């Protein structure tokens, strides 16, 4: 599985931890920045990571900012992206099983490193359940089509 990861300055420290953690588990991962705590705009990195995922260059993406809110909102503007902001393991699992989320968003100023690693592990290991959830996910695409004319 190929993973794209990115953060703004508010998520830089947690990104480094998650990057190291994922690499130690043997996943292939590319870091799209940022590369220091110097202030950057979260929509820019959201666009890069989510864009790479939607083009099929990466299977999944992980985006981190201070709260995880701005960066997930920005990523979700790209049709086909289903970015899930998760601060607990239950939501991480459900976001894969029910929503087929293709981006995990985390908030460095909200979620501790240990929990963020557990959330990431569960999110990466969980498959989409399909079945009754497929039609609902397709309805999300229908909404995108309606407003992206």
Q: Which residues are known catalytic residues? A: 65, 98
Is residue 110 at the binding interface for ligand RB5, with CB under 6 A as the rule? no
For 74, residues 6+ apart whose C-beta sits below 8 A from its C-beta are 42, 43, 46, 47, 50
Number of residues that bind ligand RB5 (CB under 6 A): 8
Residues 6+ apart with CB under 8 A from 48: 6, 32, 33
Residue with tokens 């393991």, as numbered in its chain: 89
Q: Is 111 in the site for ligand RB5 (CB under 6 A)?
A: no
Q: Which is nearer to ligand RB5, 8 or 100 (CB)?
A: 8
Q: Decide if 49 contacts 32 (C-beta within 8 A).
A: yes
| Residue 8 beta carbon to ligand RB5: minimum distance, rounded to whole angstroms | 5
Determine which residue in the list 3, 45, 70, 120 makes contact with ligand RB5, applying CB under 6 A. Answer: 70
For the bound state, the minimum distance from the C-beta of residue 9 to ligand RB5, rounded and expressed in Å, comes to 7
CB 99 within 8 A of CB 132: no
Work out which of 3, 5, 34, 42 binds ligand RB5, going by CB under 6 A.
42
Nearest by Cα to 106 from 97, 117, 98? 117
Which residues lie near ligand RB5 (CB under 6 A)?
8, 10, 42, 65-67, 69-70
């Amino acid at each position: 599985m190929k993973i794209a990861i990115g953060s703004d300055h508010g998520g830089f420290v947690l990104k480094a931890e998650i990057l190291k953690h994922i690499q130690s588990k043997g996943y292939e991962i590319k870091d799209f920045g940022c590369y220091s705590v110097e202030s950057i705009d979260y929509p820019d990195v959201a666009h890069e990571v989510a864009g790479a995922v939607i083009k099929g260059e990466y299977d999944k993406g992980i985006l981190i900012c201070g709260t995880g809110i701005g960066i997930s909102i920005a990523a979700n503007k790209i049709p086909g992206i289903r970015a899930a902001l998760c601060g607990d393991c239950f939501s991480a699992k459900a976001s894969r099983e029910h929503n087929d989320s293709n981006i995990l968003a985390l908030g460095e100023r909200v979620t501790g490193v240990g929990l963020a690693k557990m959330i990431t592990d569960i999110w990466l290991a969980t498959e989409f359940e399909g079945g009754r959830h497929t039609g609902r996910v397709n309805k999300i695409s229908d909404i995108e089509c309606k407003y992206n004319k």
